[in-house]
Amino acid sequence: MPTSKIIANWKKNVFDAIYWLEGEEAYYIDKVVDYAEKQLLPEAEQAFNLTIFYGKDAEWSEIMNACKRYPVFAERQVVIIKEAQLMGQIEKLESYVENPLSSTILIVAYKDKNIDGRKTFGKLLKSKTTFIATKKMYDSKLPEWVNEWVADRGYQIAPKAVQILVDHIGNDLSRIQNELEKLIVNLGDRKKMTEDDIEKYIGISKEYNAFEFQEAVGQKNFAKAIRMIQYFESNNKAAPIQLILPTLYAFFSKLYAIYGLNSSDEKRIMSEVGVSFFAVKIYLAALRQYSYSKVEHVLMLIHEYNLRVVGINDADNTDADLLKELVVKIMDVPEKQPA
């Protein structure tokens, strides 16, 4: 059951006794917990029938006692355990999980990790609770997620704006949502977000960013890539090398996968490699610049420079120097050409 279904059921007054929410993607866990805390009970009932524990400070016996209480002048009470992964002896809740009180809704937020499903308590949770295990969203799915989030709120967003946003932020859904909400506030009567809005209200340059740099490298546009590195050197928050290298690695990894398909069919590439409609032509153009063996070599180069960034086999070069050197090697630029 997806977390959206839980909230949809709650709106229909359909409740289970225990909800166990775990895993790497905090965004979906937070959405359920936030709804439970603010909207499951009428405001007048929250003072008596809403109890929140924090795992680091919570005792299992206190939680058991809270869960076994009956609601005060209400049909149900809500008990929430936040940061439950920090709680000691959480398996002591086993007896309550076996026999929960029907008038209590217990929500457990067990973030960033998973309970051991091989042990008795883990098996019990999966059989006796509404059990949700979240996973980090793949980078290839981020553009689709952004478009759906924006569309659900009655807006549109330009494909290039989507790509700039997700390449800069990565798969931090909470942060992406915060930035999109900021855009909506500033749009006024307009209904479409553009790369100009991304630059103006979020502060990501529409010309100098990880996505544009990736495209410059893909096109073997050496002059543009060097201009961008010089900009990054003067504006170190625009696209730090720790952001650029994973972006480049993902780009060439997808080129490698496209070679494996042995097909230039755009729909197949989009479906099987996870390339967006907006970016697929960029990848196909890059295939004309980089052979299969060169793509393999570039992936090894990026790995090498990723190690050098953290000081392995390199202690003296600046990030800009390393990036320039990497670009020269990727594009096979003759050494006599100035960097």
Q: Looking at the predicted structure, is the pLDDT value of residue 69 above 50?
A: yes
Unique residue bearing structure tokens 């439970």: 36
- Are 11 and 130 found together in one domain? yes
Average pLDDT of span 252-263: 94
The boundaries of the domain holding residue 66 are 3-134
Q: Which of 102, 117, 134 is the last residue of a domain?
A: 134
Q: Are residues 248 and 160 in the same domain?
A: no
Is residue 184 a contact partner of residue 150, using CB atoms and an 8 Å limit?
Answer: no
Task: Mark whether 153 and 130 lie in a shared domain.
Answer: no
In angstroms, the CA 109 to CA 112 distance is 10
Do residue 93 and residue 18 come from a single domain?
A: yes
Residue 226 within a domain: yes
Within a domain: 284? yes
Confidence of residue 292 (pLDDT cuts 50, 70, 90): very high
d(CA 84, CA 91): 11
337 within some domain: no
State CA 294 to chain mean position distance: 30
Tens-place pLDDT, residues 127-145: 999 999 999 988 888 999 9
For residues 114 and 155, membership in a common domain is answered with no
In this prediction, residue 238 carries a pLDDT of 86
CATH assignment of the domain containing 67 = 3.40.50.300
Give the CATH number for residue 248: 1.20.272.10
Confidence of residue 335 (pLDDT cuts 50, 70, 90): low
In eight-state DSSP terms, residue 202 is: I
Assigned domain for 254 exists: yes
Query: For residue 338, what pLDDT is reported?
Result: 47
Closest CA to 60 of 87, 20, 21, 22: 87
Q: Helix, strand or coil for residue 76?
A: coil
Q: Does 150 share its domain with 121?
A: no
Q: Considering the chain, what is the average pLDDT of its residues?
A: 92
> Is residue 38 situated within a structural domain?
yes
Q: Is 339 domain-assigned? A: no
Q: Domain for residue 336, yes or no?
A: no
DSSP, collapsed to helix, strand or coil, labels residue 201 as helix
Q: Quote the distance between the C-alpha of residue 275 and its chain's center.
A: 17
Same domain, 90 and 108: yes
Domain end residue (candidates: 82, 116, 134): 134
pLDDT band at 5 (very low <50, low <70, confident <90, very high): very high
Domain of 174: which CATH number?
Answer: 1.10.8.60
Predicted confidence at residue 1, as pLDDT, reads: 59
Do 143 and 130 sit in the same domain of this protein? no
Q: Judge whether 251 and 287 are in contact, CB under 8 Å.
A: no
pTM: 0.77
Same domain assignment for residues 239 and 303: yes
Return the half-sphere exposure (C-beta side, CA atoms, 13 A cut-off) of residue 122: 10
What is the arithmetic mean of pLDDT over 252-266? Answer: 94
Residue 34 has pLDDT above 70, yes or no: yes
Taking residue 251's Cβ as centre, other Cβ atoms within 10 Å add up to 26
Do 111 and 234 fall within a single domain? no
Q: What is the arithmetic mean of pLDDT over 20-41? A: 95
